Amino acid sequence: MIWREKGLLSDRRRPFTLWGYLIFFVWSIALAIFLQGIGLFFLLGITVAFSAIFCEGRVRPIRRWGFWFLIASTLMLSTLFIGDKEFSLLGLGLSPQGFWVGLGMALRGVVIMLAMTTFSDAVSVVEITHLFEAVGLKGLGFALGVAFNMVPTIQETIDTVYQAIRLRGGFHRQRLATLKTLAMAVVINSVRHGDEIVDAAQARAFNPDRRRKELPYPTWADLALGMALLSGVCILTG
């Protein structure tokens, strides 16, 4: 279910391909790093609008208390520790300069967090895998498929071996040796299971070098988005 939510299995309709979302992701992060002052407010507005419109209205991090705690602590600490203290509240010296620096840092944090969430929500794991394969990590898709299927098996193996060792009085003495036994048992079991997968793949004449589904070409929507964002760079930095 989580995998479906994360986009591993889904093929939902989106206005842009992987390239559109990648362009937006890189654009937001680059501008968040370089922009200062009022430009950051505009950038935040654009990022919130894009996330809300083109990512099924998900603006998830903003709804988390932990995220707001991070922002509040950044604002508070910078007001306390940056710049000259000009005001005093409850015996604590506060600096307006520190407040503005902190606000800039907080805005930057919100923009980057939103850009990351939008990218990870909009782009499926399969597409990310293709992206990695395109940059030279051949066979990653196959390895990832095997890994997904192996996780429950490995968890079960770890549990079984751990319980078997514990019931035989393990971990009471010679803990390092017991730990080594546990690690060896898990690795040996998993490797043997892996050998069966290799045999099955070879019996089906699987070849990791065979051309697999390639990345999609950028669409007109991606190009239009790219042009719009490029104009945005000129307006925000000009």
Number of residues that bind another protein (CB under 8 A): 65
Distance CA 225, CA 21 (A): 9
User: Going along the chain, which residue ranges are E strands?
Assistant: 87-89, 92-94
The reply on whether position 221 binds another protein by CB under 8 A is no
Which of helix, strand or coil describes residue 172?
Answer: coil
Is the distance from CB of 9 to CB of 3 less than 8 angstroms? yes
> Taking CB under 8 A as the rule, does residue 137 contact another protein?
yes
The span of 115-123, 161-169, 213-221, 223-231 binding another protein (CB under 8 A) equals 115-123
Q: Which two tokens stand for residue 220?
A: 């007109």
User: Would you count residue 142 as binding another protein (CB under 8 A)?
Assistant: yes
Give the Cα separation of 135 and 168 in Å (integer): 49
193 scored as a contact of another protein (CB under 8 A): yes
Instruction: Specify the amino acid at residue 212.
Output: R
Token pair for residue 132? Answer: 């990695």
User: Residues interacting with another protein, by CB under 8 A?
Assistant: 2-3, 6, 8, 33, 60-61, 64, 74, 77-78, 80-82, 101-102, 104-106, 108-109, 112-113, 116-117, 120, 125, 128-129, 132, 136-140, 142-148, 150-151, 154-155, 158, 180, 183-184, 186-188, 190-191, 193-194, 197-198, 201-202, 206-209
